[in-house]
Structure 1
Amino acid sequence: MKIERVMRHEISSADVYAMASTKEYQERKCADAGALSWDVQVDVDGDTAVVKTKRKLPTVGFPSLVRKLVPTGLTSTETVTWGPLDADGTRTAQLHVNFHGAPARMHGTIRVVPTSDTASEVRVDADFTALVPVVGRKVEQLAAPIVISVIDAEEKTAQAWAAQGY
């Protein structure tokens, strides 16, 4: 299932990348999304970065079919591999999310695109796949809103982060 989201920020694309490549922001993102626990690793190497976030989300509010697949919570590892800055100020990352103990995965890209000197958009374009015979498509339809809610929580966290002047 295709997952597409656009998050708008009133900070530059360089500031969005700087924010996204800090451990403190990643930890706040997990807390704001309601994660029960998390472990964040950030490795910045010159003009690139790899951000690896393992988090466990509660299944309260999940559809019953999804809760049956992950009754004790959903643990995922998100790896975002940021490439170098493009000439137009855009930065692209490869996104990989593995769901531990659940037959699902998500792969795609994240692009930070400047819309002005002081504003930018973050565009998420990913494919979420449930690897469950017969009911895989149904699981995708039920789980996609959960994935989108986590992305939406990240947008709110980024806006609060920027408003506080980090």
Structure 2
Amino acid sequence: MEFESTVHYPADLATVARMLIDPAYMEYRISQLGVEVLEQTVTGDPAAPLFRVRAVIPPGLVPAAYRRFVPPRLVLTLVETWHPQAGDRSPGGMMTVEFDGIPARASASFRLDGVAAGSERHYAGEVSARIPLVGRKLEAAAVGAIQKVVRAEEAAARAYLAG
């Protein structure tokens, strides 16, 4: 199932671009989601890093109707790869999320743009759950969860930027 989402940031493009590739912000951002972080690494060029996070999703974040289809301890791996910025091209990259124990994943490209009220990160991607009979419903629930994560990202960014 395809999805699009936009995260709004209350700061200019240069400030937000620096924040988003800062390992300290990634750690802060993940901590605000209420997940148990198992591992977090940052590799690559500081101007175009690769973030990898493994975390346990609290059972309450999985809709009750779908909990029987996921392991009791649902672990995800998030990989966010930033592309080097060149010329006037907007900063951007790729994001993937995979889950241990279930055939489901999300992937998206993203780009960061300056707008009148600050900056926006636009995601365009796809969620897939290859589970007979309930896969499409799980995908729809996952897209809804992505929207909740986007709102949490906005709140985390506002608090982080406010210092």
Task: Tell me if both proteins adopt one fold, taking TM over 0.5 as the criterion.
Answer: yes
The residue aligned with 1:58 is 58
Asked if structure 1 preserves the Cα contact closer than 8 Å seen for 2:71 and 2:101, the reply is no
The residue aligned with 2:94 is 94
- Unaligned stretches of 5+ in structure 2? none
Asked if structure 2 preserves the Cα contact closer than 8 Å seen for 1:13 and 1:119, the reply is yes
Q: Secondary structure at the match of 1:33?
A: coil
Identity of aligned residues (%): 28
Is residue 76 of structure 1 aligned with residue 38 of structure 2? no
Asked if structure 2 preserves the Cα contact closer than 8 Å seen for 1:59 and 1:72, the reply is yes
**How many angstroms does 1:71 deviate by?**
4.0
For residue 17 of structure 1, what is the amino acid of its counterpart?
A
**How many angstroms does 1:44 deviate by?**
4.1
Counterparts of 1:161 and 1:74, CA distance in 2: 28
Structure 1 residues 89 and 52: alpha-carbon distance in aligned structure 2, compared to 1, 3 A threshold: same
**How many angstroms does 1:147 deviate by?**
2.5
For residue 92 of structure 1, what is the amino acid of its counterpart?
G
For residue 144 of structure 1, what is the amino acid of its counterpart?
V
Asked if structure 2 preserves the Cα contact closer than 8 Å seen for 1:89 and 1:114, the reply is no
The residue aligned with 2:156 is 157
The residue aligned with 1:121 is 120
Counterparts of 1:155 and 1:65, CA distance in 2: 27
Asked if structure 1 preserves the Cα contact closer than 8 Å seen for 2:6 and 2:150, the reply is no
Structure 1 residues 114 and 49: alpha-carbon distance in aligned structure 2, compared to 1, 3 A threshold: same
Give the TM-score taking structure 1 as reference length. 0.87
Two-structure CA RMSD over aligned residues (Å): 2.0
**How many angstroms does 1:39 deviate by?**
2.1
Counterparts of 1:78 and 1:47, CA distance in 2: 19
Q: Which moved more, 1:42-51 or 1:95-104?
A: 42-51
Residues 30-67 of structure 1 deviation map (CA, whole Å, 9 limit, x = unaligned): 22111023422112415321111111111115323421
- Unaligned stretches of 5+ in structure 1? none
For residue 141 of structure 1, what is the amino acid of its counterpart?
A
The residue aligned with 1:134 is 133
Counterparts of 2:82 and 2:119, CA distance in 1: 16
Give the TM-score taking structure 2 as reference length. 0.88
For residue 82 of structure 2, what is the amino acid of its counterpart?
W
Asked if structure 2 preserves the Cα contact closer than 8 Å seen for 1:76 and 1:99, the reply is yes
Counterparts of 1:66 and 1:19, CA distance in 2: 35
